[in-house]
Amino acid sequence: MEVTTAGRFRVYRSPRDGDELLLLELPDERVDWTDPAVETDADDAYSPTYVPRTGYDGDLEARVSALEPGNEIEATLRWDDGDPRFEELSVRDRTRFRFVGAATGLFEAARETWRATGDGEAIGSRVTYGTDGDPNAVLYVFAKQPGARDLFDEFGDGVVPVDPLLDRLDDETDAPDAPREMFVLRPLDEEFVLVAIALDREGLFARTMRDTYC
């Protein structure tokens, strides 16, 4: 039996198979797991779906092939015996995610953000500015978790959705509405995981991050 569902999704690489994509369905209302005063269940708010990247024809094949991790899409999925495939697809936002699991030589603004984080606090943040005085990025630092939990992997696999950080960026800056570029770095010689969100993926900050760490 075939059924179809439609919604807005954030695209991730699949942690299971390179021939599929992981889609996290975006909730109608914002859900902020970074706010300790708000009780959330990320699994319920951002339900995951794994969708094949191959086996499409024509224009749909081209659009699926062009998807990048971080893109926000509107899609209709066709479910055939429990297996979803794209039926329709459009890109709403070309924000892009990059993950660097063994970063070295971290820039000073990231270290300063961590040093400014209060004792016992798990998250620190700051806005950075270009030479023209305009904001160019937002930095978030997260304390590395002891034991088996790996926050870097959880960001990359969608276990911890990053959309609340993008929502915060929209709320806290007057940046133009351009596609962002999010860099998630796990420094080898630091006690934190860095999430750096460039306000414009074509801007100087994003280009410098790509040239330095990617």
Contact yes or no for 55/73 (Cβ under 8 A):
no
pLDDT tens digit string along 107-130? 999 999 999 987 778 889 999 999
Listed in sequence order, the residues at least 6 apart from 185 whose beta carbon sits closer than 8 Å to its beta carbon are 100, 103, 106, 193, 194, 195, 196, 213
Which pLDDT value is given to residue 125? Answer: 93
Q: Hey, what CATH topology would domain 2-93 get?
A: OB fold (Dihydrolipoamide Acetyltransferase, E2P) (2.40.50)
pLDDT tens digit string along 156-174? 999 999 999 998 887 766 6
Handedness of CA 101, 107, 110, 111 (dihedral sign): positive
Which pLDDT value is given to residue 6? Answer: 96
The residues spanned by each domain of the chain are 2-93, 96-213
pLDDT, greater one: 170 or 51: 51
